[in-house]
């Protein structure tokens, strides 16, 4: 809303501070002041961005004057009076715990008195009689927000709340989803998400993307297309596996159903996800350690397989170290050992190398120029012979 400096003064007994001080105090404790325009003759227009939850009490001139008077400890020319009605009861100890610092009864009195709230304090118990213009104050969390901004957020320590995840009881459907995810991930599947809108189905949407006018009736149709795409890039995926799964809603004439489906090189399967009547704690999913996001390349990759004979474990380790140093500099991912066998006292090892540039499409010549020096260097490694 927009309000002028002089109009604010009409509601307040004490002289207002300089407009810059007024602006900073409003920003620090209440709302964003988007602009201050000089109107001349000692007047300014403040464009105040009132948050949606405060649109009931701070949407007019008196509401904004009430806020300013509270922030500066000023007196309204016509003090607010209201009859006791809706009550929010809370304990000082609970407010202190939620805000992360000790809140005294004096601080509560100071904050409530500034806004002319009616309240009662008896030991640790507080009853706030909510004024009719503060329809946003419904519970103790709203009280914490009110006290926190009045006292100053800089007085509230920045601390991550302590949460006992094992004590949280989750909805049965969510627990079932997370348990199934854990099971499939441990079996080597990767989760994907496919479109709910398809070309065919039982239920047509009012207006969907071109060619996708229906809600899906199964997961496997979309999952098959995703598998084909992932299979083409299998060597770049974790564990070189294109095995994928999806958990999501399908939409039939009979109603919505929550399904799970998975697909790999040998099998595909889809079923209704079983949900128990009880919720509970979530399963623990192990997170990868020391992972750093790396942008993928939009350009195609080239695969090269190399094989060599090694005479001993020491020679095998030397070859592995050489490949590690090489792939770190020149390849999209570490070398993968995909075949090994022993014959006539020697061991054959076969590695897969993935070449991919981030700025262009590599040619066979590009890869040869990179790979040939590596192959030539095998002759200098004792106990290693290129096959």
Burial per residue of 91-120, b for 16 or more beta-carbon CB atoms within 10 angstroms, e otherwise:
ebeebbebbeeebeeebbeebbebbebbbe
In a domain, 165, yes or no: no
So what's the pLDDT on residue 199?
Answer: 87
345: in domain: yes
Q: What is the pLDDT along the chain (387 residues), one digit of tens a residue?
A: 899 999 999 999 999 999 999 999 999 998 999 999 999 999 999 999 998 888 888 888 999 999 999 999 999 999 888 999 899 999 999 999 999 899 999 999 999 999 999 999 999 999 999 999 999 999 999 999 999 989 888 888 887 767 776 677 888 999 899 999 999 999 999 999 999 999 889 998 877 677 788 999 999 999 999 999 888 887 777 777 889 999 999 999 999 999 999 999 899 999 999 998 777 777 777 776 667 777 888 899 999 999 999 888 888 888 899 999 999 999 988 898 989 999 888 999 999 999 999 899 999 999 999 999 988 888 777 888 888
- Residue after which a domain boundary falls, among 99, 120, 155: 155
CATH code for position 18: 3.30.56.10
CA distance 96 to 112: 16
* Cross-strand bridge partners of residue 3: 46
Q: Is residue 285 part of a domain?
A: no
pLDDT of residue 205: 84
| Statement to judge: residues 310 and 268 lie in one domain | no
What letter would DSSP give residue 298?
S
Q: Among 72, 104, 120, where does a domain finish?
A: 72
CB 308 within 8 A of CB 319: yes
Query: What pLDDT score was predicted for residue 157?
Result: 84
CATH number for the domain harbouring residue 323: 3.30.70.380
Tell me, yes or no, whether 204 lies in a domain.
yes
Query: Does 123 share its domain with 203?
Result: no
Q: How many domains does the chain have?
A: 4
Residue 281 lies in a domain: no
pLDDT of amino acid 345: 86
Neighbouring residues of 368: CB distance < 8 A, sequence distance ≥ 6: none
Are β-strands 32-40 and 87-91 bridged in parallel, bridged antiparallel, or unpaired? unpaired
Q: Does the residue 139 lie in any domain?
A: yes
Q: What is the pLDDT of residue 143?
A: 94
Q: Which domain holds residue 92?
A: 87-155
Q: How many CB atoms lie under 10 A from the CB of residue 246? A: 21
Tell whether 81 is covered by a domain.
no
Query: Are 97 and 184 in a shared domain?
Result: no
Report pLDDT for 288.
Answer: 67
pTM above 0.85, yes or no: no
Q: Out of 155, 182, 207, pick the residue that ends a domain.
A: 155
DSSP SS3 for 140: helix
Question: What's the count of helices (H) and strands (E) in the chain, helices before strands?
Answer: 10, 17
Write the CATH number for 216: 3.30.930.10
Instruction: Decide: 318 and 326 in contact? Cβ < 8 Å.
Output: no
Return the pLDDT at 159.
76
Same domain (yes/no): 341, 367: yes
Based on the fold, state whether residues 60 and 115 are members of the same structural domain.
Answer: no
Residue pair 346/309 in contact (Cβ under 8 Å)? The answer is: yes
| pLDDT at residue 169 in the model | 81
- How far is the C-alpha of 224 from the C-alpha of 242, rounded, in Å? 11
Q: What CA–CA distance (Å, rounded) separates 51 from 238?
A: 46
User: In the prediction, which pLDDT does 251 show?
Assistant: 96
Residue 7 forms part of a structural domain = yes
pLDDT at 204: 87
Same domain, 203 and 268: yes
**Residues 61 and 136 placed together within one structural domain of the fold:** no
């Amino acid at each position: 809303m927009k309000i002028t400096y002089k109009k604010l003064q009409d509601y307040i007994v004490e002289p207002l501070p300089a407009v810059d001080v007024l602006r900073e105090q409003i920003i620090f404790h209440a709302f964003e002041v988007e602009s201050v325009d000089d109107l001349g003759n000692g007047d300014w227009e403040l464009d105040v961005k009132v948050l949606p939850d405060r649109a009931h009490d701070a949407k007019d001139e008196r509401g904004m004057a009430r806020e300013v008077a509270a922030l500066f400890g000023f007196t309204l020319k016509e003090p607010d009076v209201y009859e006791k009605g809706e009550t929010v009861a809370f304990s000082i100890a609970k407010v202190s715990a939620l805000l992360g610092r000790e809140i005294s009864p004096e601080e509560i009195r100071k904050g409530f008195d500034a806004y002319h709230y009616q309240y009662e304090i008896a030991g640790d118990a507080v009853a706030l009689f909510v004024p009719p213009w503060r329809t946003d104050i419904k519970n103790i969390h709203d009280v914490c927000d009110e006290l926190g901004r009045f006292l100053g957020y800089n007085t509230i320590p920045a601390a991550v709340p302590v949460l006992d995840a094992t004590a949280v009881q989750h909805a049965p459907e969510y627990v079932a989803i997370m348990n199934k995810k854990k099971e499939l991930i441990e079996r080597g599947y990767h989760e994907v998400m496919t479109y709910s809108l398809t070309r065919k189905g039982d239920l047509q949407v009012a207006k969907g993307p071109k060619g996708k006018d229906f809600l899906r009736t199964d997961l496997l149709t979309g999952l098959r297309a995703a598998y084909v795409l992932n299979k083409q890039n299998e060597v770049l995926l974790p564990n070189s596996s294109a095995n994928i799964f999806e958990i999501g809603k399908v939409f039939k004439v009979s109603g919505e159903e929550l399904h799970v489906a998975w697909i790999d090189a040998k099998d595909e399967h889809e079923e209704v996800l079983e949900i128990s009547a009880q919720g509970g704690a979530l399963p623990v999913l192990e997170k990868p350690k020391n992972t750093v996001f790396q942008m993928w390349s939009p350009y195609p990759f080239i695969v090269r397989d190399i094989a060599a004979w090694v005479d001993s474990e020491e020679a095998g380790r030397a070859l592995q170290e050489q490949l590690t140093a090489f792939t770190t500099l020149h390849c999209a991912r570490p070398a993968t050992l995909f075949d090994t066998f022993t014959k006539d006292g020697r061991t054959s090892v076969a590695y897969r190398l993935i070449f991919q540039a981030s700025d262009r499409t590599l040619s066979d010549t590009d890869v040869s120029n990179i790979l040939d020096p590596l192959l030539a260097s095998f002759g200098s490694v004792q106990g290693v012979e290129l096959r």
